[in-house]
Copies of this chain bind each other. A is one copy, B any other.
Amino acid sequence: MTVRVLGVAPGLTRCGVGVVDVAPDRTAKLVHVEVLRTPADQALELRLLTIGRGIERLLDAHRPQAFALERVFAQQNVPSVMGVAQISGIALLLAAERSVPIGLHTPSEVKAAVTGYGNADKRQVTAMVARLLGLAELPKPADAADALAIAICHAWRRGPVAPEAGPMTPAQRAWRQAEASAKRR
């Protein structure tokens, strides 16, 4: 069965939200992508309100079966990390309110899943997302591509590959290896 996943790449200035439908044979189709923006000079709570309402609107419009979000670490000690964490808290609340199952994935898990390489750069992720979704143009800005990559990653990682799903792509194989090696650590 096809699964619809909504992915969020959280950010206060630009928050990417992507919706994809992923079939059992792992092919992915773009449903919707947009970037929620808030002005840097606005009060924090109003920025969070704008982004929260945007995510809410997209959850209700597209009714995804799964919700995927970047896993944030306190170790990423950059000024934007608190805003990212605040948005992720809001996004998790909104999904939980709707009983949409949630998946958290680290940036390197997402990169490994879509490109086969956990240290891929933004350009590579964007190009691979465009290819996987059969898009004529590259999704822009990077936050849009990131949100779609998180959604695709989640759909692929959800469960064991069913035998009828066909052989894994090179990217999937690379990810399985990365995952296995991470588990051994």
Contacts and interface: CB of A to CB of B under 8 A. Distances in A.
Interface of A: 43-46, 48-49, 52, 72-75, 77-79, 81-82, 85-90, 92-93, 95-97, 102, 104
B82 A48 contact: no
Q: Which 6 interchain pairs have the tightest Cβ spacing? A: A86-B89, A85-B85, A89-B89, A45-B96, A49-B96, A45-B92
A48 B82 CA distance: 16
18 contacts: A43-B102, A44-B92, A45-B92, A45-B93, A45-B102, A46-B96, A48-B89, A48-B93, A48-B96, A49-B96, A74-B82, A77-B77, A82-B85, A85-B89, A86-B92, A87-B89, A89-B90, A90-B90
Most buried by B among A44, A48, A85, A89: A89
Contact residues of A: prevailing secondary structure:
helix
Contacts of A73: 82
Given A74-B74, A74-B78, A75-B77, A45 B85 contact: no
B77 A72 contact: no
Given A48-B96, A72-B82, A82-B85, 8 more contacts: A48-B92, A49-B93, A73-B82, A74-B74, A81-B85, A86-B88, A86-B89, A89-B89
Contacts of A82: 72-74, 85
Contacts of A79: 74
A129 to B, nearest CB: 25
A45 B92 CA distance: 5
A81 B74 CA distance: 7
